[in-house]
């Protein structure tokens, strides 16, 4: 880990500790901010287990380690190399090395663990979250909220049944300029917003044609598969490329499109749609990828609004100068949200207001586009556990946003226009489409609340 990253962690820790001190009425006589933060950490520290730390999970673990009043107690990963790298990095940040627990279920047995941070592949999200809730742990769950709609319903039920704090990792809701933009939107900055266009454009390479081969010695492939029905190991799936197989992933819409679709739903103030259509396919390369590299999803809502998602993972031509962003159209103008920046236009396309981002970002970096901006979202999760602070992205909202992506994928896979119950998001009068509502599991791994 570079010196720059260490300095950023120190800055985050200092900033958040200062905020905590200010909220408690100042520093006690004779104590520095650092010593006061140490007292808070000793008495009120949230201890977490980080599950899945190869890519995005590595950055998330580092961020948790850099937060005041938090300690990464265990690192769990089926890839021994990833676990060792993460343990070394986290240990350097928090000045105390976490322990290795390759099987996260062993870590859940420790009564000192308060929460599980799930950044494993999509097919693990809900099964892991349910096991954590049943063990009395809170959950920080990376997006998407689930692999399929039924799992999303199960994790919402679990949060209620076990009275657990579950925050979805759609961190853009905590980015300050994004939150300010949505506040202005809700305040009437462009009149009534009625249509949102979201997009993701990148130049991902082909994943090729994989072949069955021996499982690498550093990988526990049996545990990696976990709840998913067993398939032979192929050399172009682990890591990351699992996103592009329906068996484990949720396509580009659930992977990156989820961020923008979530903000679109937030801005329009909608929950479940009334109608969903989708078109697309795997057009650029002829390889093993099952999910589309090009997809358009249209979502319509009962308040006479609509969301359009355009995903082009193999053609990076930007829209409005950005590879991934969203724009709201209203009856009195439009608003572009691009990363942690936004611009408001009047009906004649004249710029009314422009708020620029002041934090270094890499918008198409799938591992960690903006670590400093993500930290408050994670702190909000910890505050939800410690003091009952309202979550910025609770699991019900996370499920609703995830479901929009999943319904788009179901519409694509079936070729149907889906009519939806706007009260609960269920597909109406379409048995073929409902076959994708849930999945089959490896015997003995069926998730239960």
Domain of 287, CATH number, reads 3.30.360.10
Asked if 122 and 254 sit in the same domain, the reply is no
Q: Whole-model pTM?
A: 0.89
Note whether residue 108 is domain-resident: yes
Average pLDDT over residues 412-428: 98
- Boundary residue ending a domain (172, 194, 222): 172
| Pair (288, 416) in one structural domain | yes
Mean pLDDT of the region 41-59: 87
**What is the 3-class SS of 395-442, one letter each residue?**
HHHHHHHHHHHHHHHHHHHHCCCEEECCCCCCECCCHHHHCCCCCCCC
Structure confidence by residue, pLDDT tens digits, 268-306 = 999 999 999 999 999 999 999 999 999 999 999 999 999
24 has a pLDDT exceeding 70 = no
Tell me the mean pLDDT in the region 406-429. 98
Whether 16 has a pLDDT exceeding 80, the answer reads: no
Task: Indicate if 108 and 53 belong to the same structural domain.
Answer: yes
Residue 143 sits in the same domain as residue 279: no
What's the pLDDT score for residue 41? 40
121 & 258 share domain: no
Nearest to 374 by CA among 172, 179, 178: 172
pLDDT 10s digits, 181-216: 999 999 999 999 999 999 999 999 999 999 999 999
**Are residues 161 and 199 both part of a single domain?**
no
Q: What is the mean pLDDT of residues 10-37?
A: 38
The residues, ordered by sequence, that sit 6+ positions from 382 with a Cβ below 8 Å of its Cβ are 46, 67, 69, 70
Nearest to 176 by CA among 396, 386, 401, 372: 372
Task: Note the pLDDT tens digit of each residue in 315-360.
Answer: 999 999 999 999 999 999 999 999 999 999 999 999 999 999 988 7
Q: Kindly state whether residues 267 and 403 are assigned to the same domain.
A: yes
| Number of domains observed in the structure of the chain | 2
pLDDT reported for residue 183: 98
Contact 93, 121 (CB under 8 A): no
Tell whether 145 is covered by a domain: yes
pLDDT of residue 70: 97
Average pLDDT on 60-74 reads: 96
Q: What is the pLDDT of residues 98-155, one digit of tens each?
A: 999 999 999 999 999 999 999 999 999 999 999 999 999 999 999 999 999 999 999 9
Q: Which of 130, 147, 172 is the last residue before a domain boundary?
A: 172
The verdict on 351 and 278 lying in the same domain is: yes
Q: What is the pLDDT of residue 123?
A: 98
In terms of domains, do 197 and 236 share one?
Answer: yes
Do 151 and 24 sit in the same domain of this protein?
yes
pLDDT in tens, 207-243: 999 999 999 999 999 999 999 999 999 999 999 999 9
Condensed to tens digits (0 to 9), the pLDDT of residues 151-182 reads 999 999 999 999 999 999 999 999 999 999 99
Please tell me the distance from the alpha carbon of residue 335 to that of residue 64, in angstroms, as a whole number: 33
* 449 found inside a domain: no
CATH number at residue 60: 3.40.50.720
pLDDT at 22: 34
Residue-averaged pLDDT of the chain: 91
User: How many CB atoms sit inside 10 A of residue 24's CB?
Assistant: 11
Residue 370 pLDDT greater than 90, yes or no: no
Which pLDDT does position 425 carry in this prediction?
98
Kindly state whether residues 415 and 297 are assigned to the same domain: yes
149, 172, 195 — which closes off a domain? 172
pLDDT at 33 over 50: no
The confidence score (pLDDT) of residue 17 equals 43
Q: What is the three-state SS of the chain?
A: CCHHHHHHHHHHHHHHHHHHHHHCCCCCCCCCHHHHHHHHHHHHCEEEEEECCCCHHHHHHHHHHCCCCEEEEEEECCEHHHHHHHHHHHHHHHCCCCEECCCHHHHHCCCCCCEEEECCCHHHHHHHHHHHHHCCCEEEECCCCCCCHHHHHHHHHHHHHCCCCEEECCHHHHCHHHHHHHHHHHCCECECEEEEEEEEECECCCCCCCCECCCCCCECHHHHHCCCCCCCCECCCCCCHHHHCCCCCCHHHHHHHHHHHHHHHHHHCCCCCCEEEEEEECCCCCCCCCCCCEEEEEEEECCCEEEEEEEECECCCCECCECEEEEEEECCEEEEEECCEEEEECCCCCEEEEECCCCCCCCCCCCCCCHHHHHHHHHHHHHHHHHCCCCCCEHHHHHHHHHHHHHHHHHHHHCCCEEECCCCCCECCCHHHHCCCCCCCCCCCCCCC
pLDDT one-digit tens code per residue, 349-368: 999 999 999 887 565 555 45
Higher pLDDT, 370 or 65: 65
- Same domain? 181 vs 167: no
| pLDDT-based confidence at residue 9 (cuts at 50, 70, 90) | very low
For residues 354 and 343, the answer to whether their CB atoms sit within 8 Å is yes
Q: Which domain holds residue 66?
A: 3-172
> Is the sign of the CA dihedral 178, 179, 182, 183 positive or negative?
negative
Q: Is 199 domain-assigned?
A: yes
């Amino acid at each position: 880990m570079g010196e720059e990253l260490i300095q950023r962690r120190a800055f985050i820790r200092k900033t958040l500790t200062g905020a905590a001190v200010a909220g408690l009425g100042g520093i006690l006589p004779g104590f520095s901010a650092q010593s006061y933060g140490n007292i808070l950490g000793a008495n009120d520290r949230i201890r977490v287990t980080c599950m899945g730390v190869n890519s995005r999970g590595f950055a998330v673990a580092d961020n948790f380690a850099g937060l005041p009043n938090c300690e990464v107690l265990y690192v769990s990963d089926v890839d021994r190399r990833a676990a060792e790298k993460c343990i070394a990095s986290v240990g350097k940040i928090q000045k105390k090395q976490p322990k290795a627990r390759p099987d996260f279920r062993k870590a859940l047995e420790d009564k000192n663990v308060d929460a599980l941070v799930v950044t494993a592949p999509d097919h693990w999200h809900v099964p892991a979250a349910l096991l954590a809730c049943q063990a009395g742990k809170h959950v920080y769950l990376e997006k998407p909220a689930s692999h399929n709609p039924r799992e999303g319903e199960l994790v919402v039920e679990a949060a209620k049944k076990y009275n657990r704090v579950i925050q979805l990792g759609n961190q853009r809701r905590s980015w300050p300029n994004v939150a300010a933009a949505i506040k202005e939107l809700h305040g009437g900055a462009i009149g009534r917003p009625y249509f949102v266009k979201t997009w993701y454009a990148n130049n991902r390479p082909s994943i090729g044609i994989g072949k069955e081969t021996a499982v690498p010695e550093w990988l526990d492939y049996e545990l990696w598969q976990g709840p998913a029905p067993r398939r032979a190991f192929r050399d172009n799936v682990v890591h990351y490329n699992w996103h592009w197989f329906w068996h484990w992933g949720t396509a580009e819409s659930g992977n990156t499109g989820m961020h923008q679709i979530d903000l679109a739903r937030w801005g329009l103030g909608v929950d479940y749609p009334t109608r969903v259509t989708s078109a697309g396919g795997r057009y650029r390369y002829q390889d093993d990828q099952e999910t589309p590299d090009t997809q358009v999803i249209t979502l319509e809502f009962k308040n006479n609004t609509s969301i359009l998602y355009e995903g082009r993972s193999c053609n990076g031509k930007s829209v409005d100068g950005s590879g991934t962003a969203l724009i709201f159209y209203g009856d009195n103008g439009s608003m572009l949200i691009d990363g942690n920046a936004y611009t408001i236009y009047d009906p004649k396309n004249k710029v009314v207001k422009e708020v620029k981002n002041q934090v270094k970002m890499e918008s198409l970096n799938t591992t960690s586009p903006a670590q400093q901006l993500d930290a408050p979202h994670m702190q909000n999760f910890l505050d939800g556990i410690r003091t009952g602070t309202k979550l910025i992205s609770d699991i019900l909202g996370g499920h609703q946003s995830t479901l929009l992506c999943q319904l788009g994928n179901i519409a694509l896979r079936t070729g149907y226009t889906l009519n939806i119950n706007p009260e609960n998001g269920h597909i109406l009068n379409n048995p073929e489409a409902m076959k994708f509502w849930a999945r089959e599991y490896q015997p003995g791994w069926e998730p239960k609340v």
